[in-house]
Structure 1
Amino acid sequence: MRDPRIDAAREQSIREWQEFCRFPSVASDRVAIEAAADWLEQKLRRLSERVERIEIPEYGPVVVAYFPGASDKTLMLYNHYDVQPVGDLDQWISGPFDSEIRDGAMWARGACDDKADVTSRLRALELFIEDHPNGLPYSMIYLADPCEEIGSPGLETVLAENAERLSADAVLWESYLREDDGRPAVGFGCRGGMEISLNLNILASNQHPSYSQILRSAPLELMRAITSLVTEDGLIAVPGFTDSALRPDAAAKARTQELSLPGDAISVPGISPLKDLPEAELKERFIFTPSMSLSGFDIDPSVSHSVPAKGTAKVRFGLVPGMDPHACFETVKTFLADTAPDIQVDLIRTMQPAFSPVDTPFAVSVLEAATKAFEAEPVIYDVMTGSGPGAFFLEHLGAPLISPTGTLRPEGNMHGYNEHGYLEDYLTHIQFTLDLLNNLEANGFADND
């Protein structure tokens, strides 16, 4: 049942979400990032004892608010307030930062990733504080990252240099999504990532196609090199790449069978988007199998009816806990040096994976709150399928992290055109966060050891 105060302030809550979505806070737009940070700081100053901005040079401020409580336990709420670039504006039905409300949804870049988290949690905090006029039962830290969408450069330094005052016992991560059938999904830890560039320059200049029967083709050789990195059914084929990957036990494998695979919400009619494998295997792979995807492929745009002189590709790998991105890079570099020695291989960026157990008291509270707010048993993702800077929090703060269900549904087009979130889901998102804060208190999180 929804707290009546949430429905009473429905329009105000939605308006604040809409207002925050109007900041075009793409990580590269420093002016918009600063404006969004100002807005967020102003909102937090009404609620918290202290707000500070910790600058990440070139990227903007990490906005941190402190909520002291009676016990020595601290919950951190992690969000980010940057968004993905909008791409081709012609593909948007309404402006990506117009925050148009139609068909019961908010349509905006970053509507659910991650601005619904930012503002719904602010509202839940307001209600929780209202319920505790004599002081909070435990402490909280609200932390907003300005550059998560580009790998959170500089965030690790912020955490390392400020570890003592940012120390937390648990981290409520940015939210996950609902299953296709509406069940809440709860993710633990997060995947890591590694992105590399492949560059091949064969010719002094582009050549006439009459030479194509005798000349090597840089784009074709890049394609062959990329496909050699995976088996025909999509497993990483590089020797040694997956040697240290987390291997699920029987219970973890069983939990994968409870989740739903993406279906109609992301499909083209008549065409299956999934690999041609048994459903049980697909579900297990979804959580525990390292992955590879092509994130860019470029040739000279002036090439027309010519043999290209060179080509460049970007390849992204998804890593599971146990894997070290730098060690993985060395295996790929060695493999390509043996099989395609003319290709230059460079490391673009890495993200360390993070593992958080599914059976902690914090996990129990999150799962109970999700069951209550979303009125369905949650689906457990032992490893969150997206990557993020979670390993920084584990290393420097010692805090396990859990990503709960929020506003996003599979059809919400996160990172795509016409991104959106439903208004009713947003209000339930507020309720979930309030339920969790109350659950933590009831389950002993506020107790001093």
Structure 2
Amino acid sequence: MTSDLTRQEAVREAATAAVPAALADLGNLVRIPSVAFPGFDPAQVQRSAEAVKALVEATGLFDSVRIADAEIPEAAEPTTLGERGMPAVLATRAAKNGRPTILLYAHHDVQPVGDESLWESPPFEPTVRDGRLYGRGAADDKAGVMAHIGALRAFSEAVGDDFDLGVALFIEGEEEAGSRSFAQFLSDHADALRADVIVVADSGNWDSKTPALTVSLRGNTRFTLRVRTLEHASHSGMFGGAVPDAMMATVKLLSTLWDETGAVAVEGLTVRDAETPEYTEETLRDEAGLPDGVGPIGTGTILSRIWNKPSITVTGIDAPSVANASNTLSPEISVVISARIAPGQDARDAYAAIEAHLRAHAPFGAQLEFSHQDYGNPFLVDTSGWAVADAREVLGEAYGVDPVDMGVGGSIPFIADLVREFPGAQILVTGVEDPHARAHSPNESLHLDTFRNALVAEALLLEKLDGRTL
């Protein structure tokens, strides 16, 4: 027992010492604008993959380290530009002496910057202010990449590089852009990725001091809706009042998606019945940025609205801009609708319910066209396995606070692919974010103490699994 405790302490000390180097490497990764969305430079995603590969190779721990991609399944000609997924980094090390294999997942692509004028410092220049590292990808999810690499460095520093634990590392390059080739990538590399435990470092924590395991995730469906009421634009003075324009029809149609409280009012969308922890409106206002006078929407406990009920958001609209406004009746309007789906409902069933609702409520006989549908199923973690118990233990040791099991209103659709491809694996959804990380928003940041504790926790998890015989 004494030797075990000494080894754990050695890992903990090595992990704490590894944090500055991990943060320096994180800063270098943040400087690479690796946006995988169409219209952005794919060479930057390739550059980011090469930088991650070099960091992984430098650990000297893997039998194989390579950059790989996969065909996007819908592509008819995979050699055509854009018909293959973005580059991922794949590394493998075989287990020995009956030890388990752990798969460590994160992603190196990032969200677009958005309106750069809203950033207080350049988005691709890592900047430390008030205990936080600011920059696009600093939290989501290049910090996840460096938590994995930093933990591996610390673990091998403490125990030597001849350990028995099997390790696979999968650093994806297109998660923010929809993981279009993810399922095919898993199929192509199933043998390399097969593991007993999968750590998905792409979620968050209860707060900056309290760790969490994410045990439920809402699913999502996203699609484009075109509303058409006229064959061509017409003069608003000559025909307004008698002819329905597409903007009017769109506004009236979209308003039917919610009731007077702001809750979703679409028949066929389900709700999960589950208790939620205490969470106040004051906390919601602080974490979400609700101004004075603007009230929350929906009914029930706040966390039930975020974790266990559906939501619908209009995330984009193609319509005449304010600068280009004229006295014209618009013939057609297009919007992007993003819906979050309660755990327990299939994403395609949810989409079908929303489409049926919109068709049934189309005003004035407006013509509707649906396209670009995406689907991601929700997920519930089986918390009965030994890996969850091990994860809870090391999180408590690293943070000095017992972890919380929490749900997340967002979605990680590819987890359903992991479950389908590796049904025997235990999945741990962890992360380095806190509620003020502002992932996907201007001024994204990483809480430095949270990053340190997350790295220490993962190093302790590696040590614990290396001592477990299957």
Determine if the TM-score, normalized by the shorter chain, exceeds 0.5: yes
**For 1:411 and 1:117, how far apart are their aligned partners in 2?**
16
> Is it true that 1:176 corresponds to 2:203 in the alignment?
yes
Deviation of the 1:6 alpha carbon: 4.1
> Is it true that 1:293 corresponds to 2:281 in the alignment?
no
Q: Does the CA-based 8 Å contact 1:192-1:319 persist in structure 2?
A: yes
For residues 299-318 of structure 1, the aligned pairs below 5 Å read: 299-301=319-321, 302-318=324-340
Misfit runs of 4+, over 6 Å = none
1:127 to 114, 136, 154: 154
> Is it true that 1:62 corresponds to 2:88 in the alignment?
yes
More displaced stretch, 124-133 vs 180-189: 180-189
Deviations 1:364-400 (A, max 9, x none): 1111122121221222125664333101100012234
For 1:296, the aligned partner's letter is G
Call closer, same or farther: CA 1:181–1:8 in 2, change over 3 Å: closer
> Is it true that 1:225 corresponds to 2:253 in the alignment?
yes
> Is it true that 1:200 corresponds to 2:200 in the alignment?
no
For 1:329, the aligned partner's letter is Y
Deviation of the 1:100 alpha carbon: 2.0
Q: Which residue of 2 is the match for residue 19 of structure 1? A: 28
Call closer, same or farther: CA 1:234–1:76 in 2, change over 3 Å: farther
For residues 20-59 of structure 1, the aligned pairs below 5 Å read: 20-28=29-37, 29-47=41-59, 48-57=62-71, 58=82, 59=85
Q: Which residue of 2 is the match for residue 356 of structure 1? A: 381
Deviation of the 1:115 alpha carbon: 0.5
2:435 to 380, 394, 410: 410
Deviation of the 1:77 alpha carbon: 0.8
Q: Which runs of 5 or more structure 1 residues have no equivalent in the other structure?
A: none
Q: Secondary structure at the match of 1:97?
A: coil
Call closer, same or farther: CA 1:273–1:373 in 2, change over 3 Å: farther
Q: Does the CA-based 8 Å contact 2:139-2:439 persist in structure 1?
A: yes
Deviation of the 1:142 alpha carbon: 0.8
For 1:221, the aligned partner's letter is A
Deviation of the 1:147 alpha carbon: 0.4
Deviation of the 1:226 alpha carbon: 1.9
Deviation of the 1:9 alpha carbon: 4.4
Q: Does the CA-based 8 Å contact 1:56-1:62 persist in structure 2?
A: no
**For 1:49 and 1:404, how far apart are their aligned partners in 2?**
26
For residues 259-408 of structure 1, the aligned pairs below 5 Å read: 262-272=284-294, 274-275=296-297, 277=299, 281-301=301-321, 302-340=324-362, 342-382=367-407, 385-398=410-423, 399-406=425-432, 408=433
Deviations 1:115-163 (A, max 9, x none): 1110121011111122332632321111011100011001101112222
For 1:56, the aligned partner's letter is A
Identity %: 23
**For 1:273 and 1:33, how far apart are their aligned partners in 2?**
40
**For 2:124 and 2:55, how far apart are their aligned partners in 1?**
20
> Is it true that 1:187 corresponds to 2:199 in the alignment?
no
Call closer, same or farther: CA 1:189–1:46 in 2, change over 3 Å: farther
Q: Secondary structure at the match of 1:159?
A: helix
Give the TM-score normalised by structure 1.
0.89
Deviations 1:191-217 (A, max 9, x none): 321012111122233333323222212
Aligned Cα root-mean-square deviation (Å): 2.4
**For 1:322 and 1:270, how far apart are their aligned partners in 2?**
35
For residues 426-437 of structure 1, the aligned pairs below 5 Å read: 426-437=451-462
